[in-house]
């Protein structure tokens, strides 16, 4: 998809012998933060001076990355904001991905998950073609649908567990019956997802998406999955507090617990990108840079 395989070289330069969690830990230590830069540029919110078309969107995304990436442990492009522009939008995403530092983990926020053969093609598209280090995954179809996205020891999948949107509890908080086959008690659906995910994959290739807007649930999920890496959206514009995330987000044991940052990533998107439009004075680049630096300081790598 990228001429010359630019997307694939980012991982190859680091060496496929390293795991995703090792690469994430090294980058977290280097940046001194667990900040994950969310990349979801929208035509409706582009700052003044950027054309309301794909060219303007790509130019703003490039500015955002240049200004904020030095302060980030990872970057998480939301594929929908590029897919909405068809093949040209995907080409723009590929160009942006090809220009990122080789040591920066890239998480494709795609929320994939389907029957095994389809999931295998999704893994090829996201890992091999786009060059993503990790992907967000929907577990609704069960373990066999997630498995193709977990089997590569150098890549990673974040399974949606308890999300940050207002309607998350409609399904995720439903109580499911006890299951003797998995030795699971009656519990909420998101708790069952967390419990099951601890046994998925070869080990060290699965984590959970847990929203900052549900701090009590975050603490409970951490108790159920003490060794899984967490990707936490919902701070900033969605109103989630940082303190509970820093308390309960880091993994205590396992491959994630042994790395700098303890497998925690806290995603901030609008809280950084929105700085470009804040106020009429100053350079948008510098405003974004300052916002990224502030968020990085609020989300330090804790001992």
What lies within 8 Å, CB to CB, of 124 at 6+ separation is: none
Go through the domains of the chain in sequence order and give each one's CATH number: 3-167+199-298 (3.20.20.70)
Average pLDDT over residues 245-265: 96
pTM above 0.75, yes or no: yes
The residue that leads in pLDDT, 2 or 141, is 141
Q: Which of 4-18, 72-86, 167-181, 202-216 has the lowest mean pLDDT?
A: 4-18
Average pLDDT over residues 26-35: 98
For 217-251, the pLDDT digits (tens) are 999 999 999 999 999 999 977 788 999 999 999 99
- pLDDT > 60? residue 8: no
- Percent of the chain residues past pLDDT 70, beyond the cut: 93
d(CA 266, CA 37): 8
pLDDT at 16: 52
Q: Which of 29, 30, 76, 111 is catalytic?
A: 111
HSE of 44, CA atoms in CB hemisphere, 13 A: 2
pLDDT band at 9; cut points 50, 70, 90:
very low
Q: Is 76 a catalytic residue?
A: no
pLDDT at 279: 64
- pLDDT > 50? residue 4: no
- pLDDT > 80? residue 2: no
- pLDDT > 80? residue 14: no
pLDDT at 103: 97
User: What does DSSP say about strands 175-176 and 187-188: parallel, antiparallel, or unpaired?
Assistant: antiparallel
pLDDT at 296: 98
What lies within 8 Å, CB to CB, of 250 at 6+ separation is: 230, 257, 261, 262, 263, 264, 302
d(CA 153, CA 36): 22
pLDDT band at 66; cut points 50, 70, 90:
very high
Facing residues of 136 across strands? 158
- pLDDT > 80? residue 286: yes
- pLDDT > 90? residue 3: no
pLDDT at 289: 97
The torsion angles phi and psi of 300, rounded to 5 degrees, stand at -75, 160
């Amino acid at each position: 998809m990228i001429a010359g395989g630019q997307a694939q070289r980012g991982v190859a330069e680091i060496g496929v012998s390293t795991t995703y969690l090792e690469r994430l830990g090294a980058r977290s230590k280097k940046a001194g933060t667990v900040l994950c830069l969310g990349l979801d540029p929208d035509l409706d919110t582009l700052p003044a001076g950027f054309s309301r078309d794909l060219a303007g969107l790509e130019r703003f995304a490039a500015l955002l990355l240049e200004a904020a990436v030095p302060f980030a442990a990872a970057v998480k492009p939301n594929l929908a904001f590029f897919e909405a522009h068809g093949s040209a939008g995907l080409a723009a995403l590929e160009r942006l991905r090809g220009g990122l530092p080789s040591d920066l983990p890239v998480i494709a926020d795609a929320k994939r998950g389907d029957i095994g053969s389809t999931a295998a093609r999704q893994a090829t598209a996201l890992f091999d073609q786009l060059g993503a280090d990790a992907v967000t995954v929907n577990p609704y179809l069960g373990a066999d649908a997630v498995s193709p996205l977990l089997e590569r020891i150098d890549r990673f999948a974040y399974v949606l567990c308890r999300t940050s949107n207002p309607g998350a509890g409609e399904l995720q908080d439903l109580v499911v019956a006890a299951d003797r086959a998995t030795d699971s008690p009656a519990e909420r659906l998101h708790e069952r997802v967390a419990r099951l995910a601890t046994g998925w994959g070869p080990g060290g290739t699965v984590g959970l998406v847990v929203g900052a807007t549900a701090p009590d649930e975050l603490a409970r999920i951490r108790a159920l999955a003490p060794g899984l890496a967490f990707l936490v959206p919902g701070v900033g514009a969605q109103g989630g507090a940082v303190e509970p995330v820093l308390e309960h987000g880091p993994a205590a044991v396992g491959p994630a617990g042994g790395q700098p940052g303890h497998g925690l990533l806290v995603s901030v998107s609008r809280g950084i990108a929105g700085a470009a439009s804040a106020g009429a004075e100053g350079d948008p680049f510098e405003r974004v840079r300052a916002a990224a630096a502030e968020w990085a300081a609020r989300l330090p790598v804790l001992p």
